Amino acid sequence: MKTLGIDYGKSKIGFAVGVGTLSEPWKVIRVSSFGDALQKTKSEIEKEKPDRVVVGVSEGEMGKESKKFAEALGAATFDETLTSRDAQKLSIEAGVSQKKRHEMEDAYAASLMLQSYLDSNEP
């Protein structure tokens, strides 16, 4: 089963792909508005054809916007609190260059969220 994990942000969206029970960072896209984010994400979903889509949701105003984004996509939601900070820490420990970390940070966060989702939904 293929699962697409999404770390929604107002200017960047991180994507991760999970096949079976393993998640990996995939890509980051830049967006200019909520509508642009929806359009570009729907396009990625059409290209990838995942069996399910999961959007990470944090607390506060961003969490509310992420939930709205997930609803517009017909996607599931999963708690992503602190995944961006954890992604930064892990990539630094792994020796990933600062430039690469900056480019892929949201995809790493999406991958951590998706891995937690996959782990919590194992049979």
Number of structural domains in the chain: 1
Q: Quick one: average pLDDT of 52-68?
A: 92
pLDDT given for residue 104 in this prediction: 73
pLDDT given for residue 87 in this prediction: 61
Q: How far apart are CA 63 and CA 83, in angstroms?
A: 13
Q: How far apart are CA 65 and CA 88, in angstroms?
A: 23
Helices 98-120 and 83-93 meet at what angle, rounded to 10? 120
Residue 80 DSSP SS3: coil
pLDDT given for residue 91 in this prediction: 61
- For residue 29, list its beta bridge partners: 13
Q: Quick one: average pLDDT of 10-23?
A: 94
Q: Which of 43-47, 69-73, 88-92, 108-112 has the lowest mean pLDDT?
A: 88-92
Chain center to CA of 70: 11
pLDDT given for residue 59 in this prediction: 84
Mean residue pLDDT across the chain: 87
Q: Among 65-69, 98-102, 119-123, which range has the highest average pLDDT? A: 65-69
Question: What is the CATH number for 75?
Answer: 3.30.420.140
Question: Which domain range does residue 51 map to?
Answer: 2-120
- Determine contact, residues 15/2, Cβ cutoff 8 Å: no
Which amino acid is residue 30, in one-letter code?
R
